[in-house]
Amino acid sequence: MHLSSQIAKHFREVFFGGNWTSVNLRDTLKDITWQQATKKVHSCNTITALVYHINYYVSSVLKVLQGGPLNAHDKYSFDHPLVQSQSDWEALVNNALTEAEQFADHIEKLPENKFGETFIDE
C-alpha cells in the first residue's frame, strides 16, 4: 500500500472507525447533546471546544491541500462559534466530519514524493 493511501486510511479510521482501538470521533460524538457538549467541567475544555480545536487544524491544512495559503494560528484554535441548540452542535460535528473526509481524500491523492517536500513556505 502506498504511503498516501495508508495515511488516509489511518486518518479515516480515527474519525470514522475501523481501527484496532474500536474508538472513533463520529461514534463517540453521535449521542452527545448540545447541552453536554457545551457543559464546562472545572477548568477543562468543553466537548465543543475540543471538536472545534481538532477541526481547526484539519480545516486549515485542507485549505492548503486545495491550493490555498496556510492561515492558522494557535491563538484562534479554541475560538469556536457559540453553540446554543442541537442544530448548532450537529452543524459543528457534521462540518468536522465532512472536512475530515475531504482531508483524507486529498491526502490519498498526494504523490509519494510530496511527503519529503516542505509542506508550505517555510
Q: Is the dihedral of CA 75, 76, 82, 87 positive or negative?
A: negative
pTM: 0.91
8 Å CB contact between 83 and 1 = no
In sequence order, what are the residues at sequence separation of 6 or more whose Cβ sits closer than 8 angstroms to the Cβ of residue 55?
92, 95, 96, 99, 100
Question: Can you give the residue ranges of every domain in the chain?
Answer: 3-110
Q: What is the pLDDT of residues 57-110, one digit of tens each?
A: 999 999 999 999 999 999 999 999 999 999 999 999 999 999 999 999 999 999
Mean pLDDT, the chain, as a whole number? 94
